[in-house]
Amino acid sequence: MENNLLENEALVNEITSIITNARNNVIKNINNELINAYWNIGRIIVEDELKSERGEYGKKQLITLSKTLTNRFGKGFSRANLQNMRLLYLKYPNCQTLSSKLSWSHYCELLYISEDDKRSFYEKEAINANWSVREHFII
């Protein structure tokens, strides 16, 4: 009887590990897809800014865009978040340099570091030390 319990526990542990790994992979994939989408949204905003020669582009256009996208997709498209997407594209012009190990929240913090080498340092430290944004990511 005790042997069956141990075998059952081993079976449950193995299945639990598979489910946990699968869920973690799903979260990572969702995060990567969202960051790539945000980078592309930032690219489109910057390209549209360059096409138009309006000096007030940022405020009016982003507010209108924010309202439209929020109506269609819900939360996540505030003017501030669209500005972050724009900055993501400007600070990381090659989307291949974005790390899959960092979340959107990490990037939102990193975007406001003006010096490239300092931003790179914090990016590497956040990855190596597995910093969470809320508890350890203090810039």
Residue 74 sits in the same domain as residue 108: no
88 & 117 share domain: no
Higher pLDDT among residues 139 and 90, named by residue: 90
Is the same domain home to 128 and 107?
yes
Query: pTM for this one?
Result: 0.81
Q: Does residue 61 sit in the same domain as residue 84?
A: yes
pLDDT in tens, 58-71: 678 889 999 999 99
Domains of the chain: total? 2
Whether residues 62 and 120 fall in one domain: no
Higher pLDDT, 135 or 77: 77
Q: Do 88 and 119 meet the contact criterion of CB atoms below 8 Å apart?
A: no
- Within this chain, do residues 82 and 26 fall inside the same structural domain, yes or no? yes
Pair of tokens at residue 125: 């430290």
Query: Residue 101 is inside which H or E element, if any?
Result: none
Q: pLDDT higher for 75 or 57?
A: 75
Domain co-membership, 84 together with 103:
no
Q: Say whether both 118 and 74 belong to one domain.
A: no
